Amino acid sequence: MQDRAVAGASLGVLSRAVSEVSILTSALARKERTLFASAALAALLIAFFLALHVLGLRDHVSFLSGTQPPSHFAVVAGVSYILAWFGAVLAAPVFAIDAVVYIVLTAVGRALARRHSRAP
C-alpha cells in the first residue's frame, strides 16, 4: 500500500516535470517568433526614420525653437520626424540588443549542452 502511494507521488512529480518542460519548450518557440519580431521592428523603426530624413522632414522641426511653422503640414511633418527619431534612437536599439542577446545566449547554451553531453 505504501509502495503505491510512493509510486503515485513519483508519478505526480514526473508528470509535473514533463508539464513544465513542455511549457518551457513552447515559451522558447514563442521567443524565437518574438526574436524575429524584435529584429524586424528595430529595422522598421530605423527605415521609417531614414525615409523621413531623406524626404527632408528634418527642416520642419524648427517649431521646437519657437519658430512659427509656415503651415499645418510643417507641424505634422515635424512631429512625425521627432517621433521617428525617438523610435530610431531609443526604441530600435533596445529591440536590436534583445535579439542579439537572445542569439548569443542561445548559442552559448547549445555549446554548453553539447559539451556537457560529451563529458564522460
Distance CA 27, CA 35 (A): 12
Residue ranges per domain, the chain? 31-118
Q: What is the pLDDT of residues 30-88, one digit of tens each?
A: 666 677 888 888 999 999 999 999 999 888 888 888 888 888 888 888 999 999 999 99
d(CA 17, CA 23): 10
Residue found by looking up cell 520642419 in the block: 60
pTM of the entire structure? 0.64
What local confidence, expressed as pLDDT, does residue 12 receive? 52
Q: What is the pLDDT of residue 11?
A: 46
Amino acid residing at 107: A
**Which residue has 529595422 as its cell numbers?**
43
